[in-house]
Chain A
Amino acid sequence: MIGVLDYGAGNVGSVIRAFGHVGFECSPVVTECELKRCSHLVLPGVGAFDYCMDALASSGLLHELIARVVKDKIPLLGVCVGAQMLGRSSEEGSRKGLNLIDMECIRFPKWPNLKIPHVGWARLHQASATTNTFSTQKILSGRFYFTHSYYMVPKYTENVLFTSTHELHFCSAVYKENIIGVQFHPEKSHRTGLEFLRVFASNEIY
Chain B
Amino acid sequence: MRSTKLRIVPVLTIDKENLVKTYSFSEPRYIGDPVNAARIFNELEVDELVLTDISSDRYQRELNFRLISSVASECFMPLTYGGGVTREDQVEKLLKVGIEKVIINSANYRGDKLSASCIKSFGAQSVIIGVDYRVIGGSDQILYSDSGRSKVEIPFSEYLQKVCDLGPGEIFLNSIDRDGRMEGPDLQTARYVSMSTEMPVTVCGGVRGLDDIRSLEECGVSGVAATSLFVFWGTHRSVLINYPKEIRHIRHYSDE
Contact = CB atoms under 8 A, between A and B. Distances in A.
Do A and B share a complex? yes
Interface of A: 11-14, 17-18, 21, 46-48, 51, 81, 110, 113-117, 119-123, 143, 145, 147-149, 164-166, 185, 187-191, 193-194
B16 interface: no
B170 A122 contact: no
A149 B198 contact: no
A13 B45 contact: no
Given A11-B98, A147-B125, A147-B169, A187 B76 contact: yes
B98 A14 contact: yes
A186 to B, nearest CB: 10
A147 B121 contact: no
Q: Interface of chain A, helix or strand or loop or mixed?
A: mixed
Nearest to B194: A115
Contact of A47 (B45, B123, B256): B123
B125 A190 contact: no
A119 B254 contact: no
A147 B78 contact: yes
A116 B98 CA distance: 23
A166 B126 contact: no
Given A143-B254, A145-B77, A13 B222 contact: no
B234 to A, nearest CB: 28
Interface of B: 5, 7, 42, 45, 47, 72-73, 76-78, 95-98, 100-101, 120-126, 169-170, 198-200, 220, 222-223, 251-252, 254-256
29 contacts: A11-B98, A13-B98, A17-B73, A46-B123, A47-B121, A47-B126, A81-B123, A116-B198, A117-B169, A117-B199, A120-B5, A120-B47, A120-B200, A120-B223, A121-B47, A121-B251, A121-B254, A122-B255, A145-B78, A148-B125, A149-B124, A149-B125, A165-B255, A166-B255, A188-B77, A188-B78, A189-B76, A190-B42, A190-B76
A194 B126 CA distance: 22
Contacts of A123: 255-256
Given A117-B200, A119-B169, A48 B255 contact: no
A148 B45 CA distance: 21
Contact of B222 (A17, A21, A119): A119
Nearest to B47: A121
Contact of A116 (B72, B76, B199, B251): B199
B199 A190 contact: no
Contacts of A145: 77-78
Given A117-B200, A149-B124, A191-B45, 6 more contacts: A11-B98, A13-B96, A13-B97, A114-B198, A143-B254, A189-B77
Given A48-B120, A119-B7, A11 B254 contact: no
Contacts of A189: 76-77
Contacts of A143: 252, 254-255
